[in-house]
Amino acid sequence: MKFEDTVSHLLSRVATAHKAHLEKRLAAVGLHGGQLSVLFELWRRDGRRQVDLAREIGLATPTVNKILGGMIEVGLVDRTRLEDDARATRIYLTDEGHAMRAKVEEVWLEVEEELLSEFTESERLILFSLLTKVRNYYFGVDPDQVDD
Partner DNA sequence: CAGTTATTATTAGCTCGCTAACTATCATTG
Partner DNA sequence: CAATGATAGTTAGCGAGCTAATAATAACTG
* Helix or strand run (H / E) with residue 113: helix 95-115
User: For residues 77-136, which are near DNA according to CB under 7 A?
Assistant: 79, 84-89
Q: Which of 51, 107, 111, 116 binds DNA (CB under 7 A)?
A: 51
Helix (H, G, I), strand (E, B) or coil at 146: coil
Shortest CB 100 distance to a second copy, Å: 12
Which of 13, 81 has the CB closer to a second copy? Answer: 13
Q: Which of 25, 49, 98, 103 binds DNA (CB under 7 A)?
A: 49
Rounded to whole angstroms, the Cα distance separating 85 from 119 reads 50
The listed partner (a second copy, DNA, none) that binds 111, CB under 5 to 8 Å by sort, is a second copy
Q: Which of 27, 99, 126, 141 binds a second copy (CB under 8 A)?
A: 126
Helix (H, G, I), strand (E, B) or coil at 111: helix
Nearest by Cα to 111 from 37, 38, 23, 42: 23
Q: Which of 121, 139, 143, 147 binds a second copy (CB under 8 A)?
A: 139
Contact call for residues 88 and 49 (beta carbons, < 8 A): yes
Shortest CB 83 distance to a second copy, Å: 31
- 91, β-bridge pairs: 48, 79
